[in-house]
Protein backbone atom coordinates (compact mmCIF):
# COMPACT_ATOMS: atom_id res chain seq x y z
CA UNK A 1 0.00 0.00 0.00
CA UNK A 2 2.82 2.39 0.87
CA UNK A 3 4.49 1.84 -2.52
CA UNK A 4 1.17 2.44 -4.29
CA UNK A 5 0.71 5.75 -2.47
CA UNK A 6 4.24 6.81 -3.40
CA UNK A 7 3.62 5.88 -7.03
CA UNK A 8 0.40 7.88 -7.15
CA UNK A 9 2.16 10.81 -5.54
CA UNK A 10 4.87 10.68 -8.19
CA UNK A 11 2.25 10.84 -10.94
CA UNK A 12 0.68 13.88 -9.32
CA UNK A 13 4.04 15.62 -9.39
CA UNK A 14 4.80 14.81 -13.00
CA UNK A 15 1.42 15.18 -14.72
CA UNK A 16 -1.82 16.89 -13.81
CA UNK A 17 -5.32 17.36 -15.18
CA UNK A 18 -6.16 20.87 -16.35
CA UNK A 19 -9.31 22.63 -15.14
CA UNK A 20 -11.33 21.87 -18.24
CA UNK A 21 -10.59 18.13 -17.89
CA UNK A 22 -9.85 17.93 -21.61
CA UNK A 23 -6.07 17.74 -21.41
CA UNK A 24 -3.18 16.54 -19.29
CA UNK A 25 -0.06 18.55 -18.48
CA UNK A 26 3.32 16.81 -18.73
CA UNK A 27 6.46 18.38 -17.35
CA UNK A 28 9.38 18.13 -19.76
CA UNK A 29 12.40 15.93 -19.28
CA UNK A 30 15.04 13.77 -20.93
CA UNK A 31 14.47 10.17 -21.94
CA UNK A 32 15.78 7.44 -24.22
CA UNK A 33 13.87 6.34 -27.31
CA UNK A 34 14.71 4.89 -30.73
CA UNK A 35 15.31 6.81 -33.93
CA UNK A 36 12.34 6.20 -36.27
CA UNK A 37 14.59 5.80 -39.33
CA UNK A 38 17.64 3.96 -37.99
CA UNK A 39 15.93 2.23 -35.03
CA UNK A 40 19.02 3.08 -32.98
CA UNK A 41 18.75 4.32 -29.39
CA UNK A 42 18.86 8.07 -28.88
CA UNK A 43 18.41 10.52 -26.03
CA UNK A 44 15.80 13.24 -26.47
CA UNK A 45 14.97 16.40 -24.53
CA UNK A 46 11.24 17.06 -24.27
CA UNK A 47 9.70 20.40 -23.35
CA UNK A 48 6.64 20.73 -21.12
CA UNK A 49 3.42 20.14 -23.04
CA UNK A 50 -0.32 19.97 -22.57
CA UNK A 51 -1.73 16.89 -24.30
CA UNK A 52 -5.33 16.33 -25.36
CA UNK A 53 -6.85 13.65 -23.17
CA UNK A 54 -8.97 12.41 -26.08
CA UNK A 55 -8.53 11.86 -29.79
CA UNK A 56 -10.17 14.55 -31.90
CA UNK A 57 -13.75 13.46 -32.58
CA UNK A 58 -15.91 13.61 -35.68
CA UNK A 59 -18.06 16.23 -33.95
CA UNK A 60 -15.08 18.42 -33.11
CA UNK A 61 -13.73 18.24 -36.63
CA UNK A 62 -17.18 19.00 -38.01
CA UNK A 63 -17.26 22.18 -35.88
CA UNK A 64 -13.91 23.21 -37.38
CA UNK A 65 -15.18 22.64 -40.92
CA UNK A 66 -18.47 24.44 -40.27
CA UNK A 67 -16.68 27.43 -38.74
CA UNK A 68 -13.88 27.84 -41.27
CA UNK A 69 -15.24 26.33 -44.48
CA UNK A 70 -12.19 24.05 -44.63
CA UNK A 71 -12.28 21.21 -47.15
CA UNK A 72 -10.37 18.06 -46.34
CA UNK A 73 -8.14 16.52 -48.97
CA UNK A 74 -10.47 13.53 -49.28
CA UNK A 75 -13.29 15.94 -50.11
CA UNK A 76 -11.11 17.72 -52.65
CA UNK A 77 -10.02 14.45 -54.27
CA UNK A 78 -13.52 13.00 -54.13
CA UNK A 79 -12.28 9.72 -52.65
CA UNK A 80 -10.26 8.16 -49.87
CA UNK A 81 -8.80 4.85 -48.74
CA UNK A 82 -10.55 1.99 -46.95
CA UNK A 83 -9.66 -1.64 -46.35
CA UNK A 84 -11.99 -3.94 -48.30
CA UNK A 85 -12.54 -7.05 -46.19
CA UNK A 86 -13.78 -8.99 -49.23
CA UNK A 87 -10.78 -8.37 -51.48
CA UNK A 88 -8.33 -8.07 -48.56
CA UNK A 89 -6.90 -4.95 -50.19
CA UNK A 90 -6.73 -1.23 -49.58
CA UNK A 91 -9.05 0.46 -52.06
CA UNK A 92 -9.87 4.01 -53.13
CA UNK A 93 -13.58 4.55 -52.55
CA UNK A 94 -15.42 7.40 -54.24
CA UNK A 95 -17.19 9.67 -51.78
CA UNK A 96 -15.32 8.40 -48.71
CA UNK A 97 -14.42 11.24 -46.33
CA UNK A 98 -14.55 12.12 -42.64
CA UNK A 99 -18.36 12.26 -42.72
CA UNK A 100 -18.66 8.86 -44.44
CA UNK A 101 -15.37 7.11 -43.67
CA UNK A 102 -16.35 3.85 -45.42
CA UNK A 103 -18.03 5.58 -48.34
CA UNK A 104 -21.46 7.10 -49.04
CA UNK A 105 -23.17 3.70 -49.15
CA UNK A 106 -22.06 2.86 -45.60
CA UNK A 107 -23.09 4.31 -42.25
CA UNK A 108 -22.12 7.93 -41.50
CA UNK A 109 -19.39 8.73 -38.98
CA UNK A 110 -20.49 8.84 -35.33
CA UNK A 111 -19.93 12.19 -33.65
CA UNK A 112 -18.19 10.90 -30.49
CA UNK A 113 -15.88 8.54 -32.37
CA UNK A 114 -12.39 9.61 -33.49
CA UNK A 115 -12.37 11.44 -36.80
CA UNK A 116 -10.74 9.48 -39.63
CA UNK A 117 -10.13 9.98 -43.35
CA UNK A 118 -8.06 12.98 -42.29
CA UNK A 119 -4.73 13.58 -44.00
CA UNK A 120 -1.70 14.83 -42.10
CA UNK A 121 -2.32 18.28 -43.62
CA UNK A 122 -5.96 18.18 -42.48
CA UNK A 123 -4.83 17.33 -38.95
CA UNK A 124 -2.29 20.17 -38.94
CA UNK A 125 -4.96 22.63 -40.13
CA UNK A 126 -7.28 21.68 -37.27
CA UNK A 127 -4.48 21.84 -34.70
CA UNK A 128 -3.49 25.35 -35.84
CA UNK A 129 -7.13 26.48 -35.60
CA UNK A 130 -7.12 25.32 -31.98
CA UNK A 131 -3.81 27.05 -31.25
CA UNK A 132 -2.08 23.69 -30.93
CA UNK A 133 0.01 21.29 -33.01
CA UNK A 134 0.62 17.60 -33.57
CA UNK A 135 2.95 15.80 -31.14
CA UNK A 136 6.39 14.77 -32.28
CA UNK A 137 7.17 11.06 -32.37
CA UNK A 138 9.36 11.46 -29.27
CA UNK A 139 6.72 13.46 -27.39
CA UNK A 140 4.11 10.83 -28.14
CA UNK A 141 6.29 8.07 -26.68
CA UNK A 142 7.32 10.24 -23.74
CA UNK A 143 3.72 10.69 -22.56
CA UNK A 144 2.74 7.10 -23.44
CA UNK A 145 5.53 5.99 -21.10
CA UNK A 146 4.46 8.34 -18.29
CA UNK A 147 7.25 10.84 -18.94
CA UNK A 148 9.53 8.07 -20.17
CA UNK A 149 9.49 6.27 -16.80
CA UNK A 150 7.34 3.24 -17.61
CA UNK A 151 8.85 -0.03 -18.84
CA UNK A 152 5.47 -1.61 -19.69
CA UNK A 153 4.65 -2.56 -23.28
CA UNK A 154 1.29 -0.74 -23.31
CA UNK A 155 0.41 2.76 -22.09
CA UNK A 156 -1.81 1.22 -19.40
CA UNK A 157 0.33 -1.76 -18.33
CA UNK A 158 1.60 -5.16 -19.43
CA UNK A 159 -1.65 -6.83 -20.53
CA UNK A 160 -4.38 -5.94 -23.01
CA UNK A 161 -6.99 -8.30 -21.51
CA UNK A 162 -7.64 -8.26 -17.76
CA UNK A 163 -10.50 -9.75 -15.73
CA UNK A 164 -12.44 -10.64 -18.84
CA UNK A 165 -12.18 -7.16 -20.35
CA UNK A 166 -10.20 -5.77 -23.26
CA UNK A 167 -8.29 -2.60 -22.46
CA UNK A 168 -8.10 -1.29 -26.02
CA UNK A 169 -9.96 -1.38 -29.32
CA UNK A 170 -8.01 -3.81 -31.48
CA UNK A 171 -8.54 -6.73 -33.85
CA UNK A 172 -9.61 -10.07 -32.35
CA UNK A 173 -9.35 -12.95 -34.77
CA UNK A 174 -7.23 -14.01 -37.74
CA UNK A 175 -6.23 -10.73 -39.41
CA UNK A 176 -7.27 -9.76 -42.02
CA UNK A 177 -9.85 -12.50 -42.56
CA UNK A 178 -12.01 -12.44 -39.46
CA UNK A 179 -12.64 -10.01 -36.62
CA UNK A 180 -14.85 -11.39 -33.85
CA UNK A 181 -15.45 -7.95 -32.34
CA UNK A 182 -14.93 -9.46 -28.89
CA UNK A 183 -13.97 -6.04 -27.53
CA UNK A 184 -17.39 -4.73 -28.59
CA UNK A 185 -16.33 -3.00 -31.81
CA UNK A 186 -15.52 -3.95 -35.39
CA UNK A 187 -14.28 -0.48 -36.32
CA UNK A 188 -13.80 2.67 -34.23
CA UNK A 189 -15.15 3.11 -30.70
CA UNK A 190 -16.24 6.22 -28.78
CA UNK A 191 -13.19 8.18 -27.61
CA UNK A 192 -12.30 7.29 -24.04
CA UNK A 193 -14.49 4.17 -24.00
CA UNK A 194 -11.71 1.94 -22.66
CA UNK A 195 -10.74 4.33 -19.89
CA UNK A 196 -7.62 6.25 -18.97
CA UNK A 197 -4.05 5.09 -18.81
CA UNK A 198 -1.72 5.84 -15.91
CA UNK A 199 -1.24 9.45 -17.00
CA UNK A 200 -4.91 10.20 -17.59
CA UNK A 201 -4.86 9.90 -21.39
CA UNK A 202 -7.24 7.72 -23.41
CA UNK A 203 -6.86 5.69 -26.61
CA UNK A 204 -3.07 5.90 -26.60
CA UNK A 205 -3.20 2.31 -27.82
CA UNK A 206 -5.78 1.07 -30.31
CA UNK A 207 -8.89 2.66 -31.86
CA UNK A 208 -7.02 4.70 -34.53
CA UNK A 209 -3.42 5.45 -35.41
CA UNK A 210 -2.36 8.99 -34.51
CA UNK A 211 -0.54 11.35 -36.85
CA UNK A 212 2.73 12.76 -35.49
CA UNK A 213 4.64 15.82 -36.64
CA UNK A 214 7.77 14.03 -37.84
CA UNK A 215 8.68 13.24 -41.43
CA UNK A 216 10.45 10.00 -42.28
CA UNK A 217 11.67 8.34 -45.47
CA UNK A 218 10.39 4.82 -45.17
CA UNK A 219 7.61 2.55 -46.32
CA UNK A 220 4.71 1.87 -43.96
CA UNK A 221 3.08 -1.48 -43.25
CA UNK A 222 -0.12 -0.39 -45.03
CA UNK A 223 1.36 1.25 -48.11
CA UNK A 224 2.00 0.08 -51.63
CA UNK A 225 3.29 3.36 -53.08
CA UNK A 226 6.84 4.36 -53.94
CA UNK A 227 9.36 5.45 -51.34
CA UNK A 228 8.68 9.08 -50.39
CA UNK A 229 8.73 11.49 -47.49
CA UNK A 230 6.03 10.28 -45.14
CA UNK A 231 4.70 11.12 -41.68
CA UNK A 232 4.90 8.95 -38.59
CA UNK A 233 1.81 7.44 -36.97
CA UNK A 234 1.67 6.02 -33.46
CA UNK A 235 -0.69 4.06 -31.24
CA UNK A 236 -2.15 1.33 -33.44
CA UNK A 237 -5.79 0.95 -34.42
CA UNK A 238 -8.85 -1.28 -34.46
CA UNK A 239 -7.12 -3.10 -37.34
CA UNK A 240 -4.08 -4.12 -35.28
CA UNK A 241 -3.70 -7.60 -33.81
CA UNK A 242 -0.89 -9.25 -31.88
CA UNK A 243 0.33 -11.48 -34.69
CA UNK A 244 0.52 -9.12 -37.68
CA UNK A 245 0.66 -5.49 -36.58
CA UNK A 246 0.53 -5.16 -32.78
CA UNK A 247 0.74 -1.42 -33.36
CA UNK A 248 -0.80 -0.58 -30.01
CA UNK A 249 2.45 -1.52 -28.26
CA UNK A 250 4.21 1.67 -27.15
CA UNK A 251 7.38 0.95 -29.10
CA UNK A 252 5.70 0.37 -32.46
CA UNK A 253 5.11 2.93 -35.19
CA UNK A 254 4.12 3.13 -38.84
CA UNK A 255 4.00 5.93 -41.42
CA UNK A 256 1.87 7.13 -44.30
CA UNK A 257 1.89 9.69 -47.09
CA UNK A 258 0.84 13.07 -45.65
CA UNK A 259 -1.82 13.76 -48.27
CA UNK A 260 -3.66 10.48 -47.61
CA UNK A 261 -6.61 10.04 -45.31
CA UNK A 262 -7.35 6.51 -44.17
CA UNK A 263 -10.14 4.82 -42.29
CA UNK A 264 -7.92 3.88 -39.34
CA UNK A 265 -5.84 7.06 -38.84
CA UNK A 266 -6.84 9.98 -36.62
CA UNK A 267 -4.98 12.36 -34.33
CA UNK A 268 -4.74 14.26 -31.06
CA UNK A 269 -3.23 17.68 -30.37
CA UNK A 270 -0.64 19.08 -27.98
CA UNK A 271 0.36 22.57 -26.89
CA UNK A 272 3.68 23.93 -25.67
CA UNK A 273 3.54 25.33 -22.13
CA UNK A 274 5.86 26.68 -19.48
CA UNK A 275 5.91 25.21 -15.98
Q: 185: domain CATH number?
A: 3.90.1580.10
Instruction: Read off the pLDDT band of 232 (50, 70, 90).
Output: very high
Instruction: Read off the pLDDT band of 37 (50, 70, 90).
Output: confident
Cβ neighbourhood burial of 119 (10 Å; 0-12, 13-18, 19+) = buried
The predicted structure's pLDDT at residue 218: 53
Nearest Cα to Cα of residue 198 among 251, 152, 131, 256: 152
- Percentage above 70 pLDDT, the chain: 88
pTM score, whole prediction: 0.88
Count of structural domains within the chain: 1
Contact 72, 97 (CB under 8 A): yes
Q: What contacts 180, CB < 8 A, 6 or more positions away?
A: 172, 173
Q: Indicate whether 229 pLDDT > 60.
A: yes
Q: Which residue has the higher pLDDT, 227 or 73?
A: 73
Cβ neighbourhood burial of 77 (10 Å; 0-12, 13-18, 19+) = middle
Q: Indicate whether 194 pLDDT > 50.
A: yes
The predicted structure's pLDDT at residue 117: 99
User: What span, in angstroms and rounded, lies between the C-alpha atoms of 87 and 91?
Assistant: 9
Q: Which residue has the higher pLDDT, 27 or 148?
A: 27
Mean pLDDT of the chain: 87
Strand residues in 18-106 grouped as ranges (E): 23-26, 29-34, 41-46, 49-52, 79-84, 89-94
Of 78-87, 103-112, 133-142, the range with the lowest mean pLDDT is 78-87
User: What span, in angstroms and rounded, lies between the C-alpha atoms of 141 and 131?
Assistant: 22
Mean pLDDT of 219-239: 72
User: What span, in angstroms and rounded, lies between the C-alpha atoms of 232 and 255?
Assistant: 4
Cβ neighbourhood burial of 4 (10 Å; 0-12, 13-18, 19+) = exposed
Contact 143, 44 (CB under 8 A): no
Q: Indicate whether 7 pLDDT > 50.
A: no
Q: Indicate whether 225 pLDDT > 90.
A: no
Q: Which domain holds residue 97?
A: 2-272
pLDDT tens-digit readout, 91-130: 999 999 999 999 999 999 999 999 999 999 999 999 999 9
Of 23-32, 134-143, 155-164, the range with the lowest mean pLDDT is 155-164
Amino acid sequence: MKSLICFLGLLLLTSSITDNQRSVVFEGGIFKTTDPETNRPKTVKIGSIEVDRYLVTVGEYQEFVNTTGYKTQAEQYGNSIIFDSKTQKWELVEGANFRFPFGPNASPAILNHPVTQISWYDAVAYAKWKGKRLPTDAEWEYVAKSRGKSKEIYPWGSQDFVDGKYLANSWQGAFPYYNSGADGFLTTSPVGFFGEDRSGLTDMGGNVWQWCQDAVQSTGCNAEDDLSVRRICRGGSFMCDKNVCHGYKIGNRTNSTPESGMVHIGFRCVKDIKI
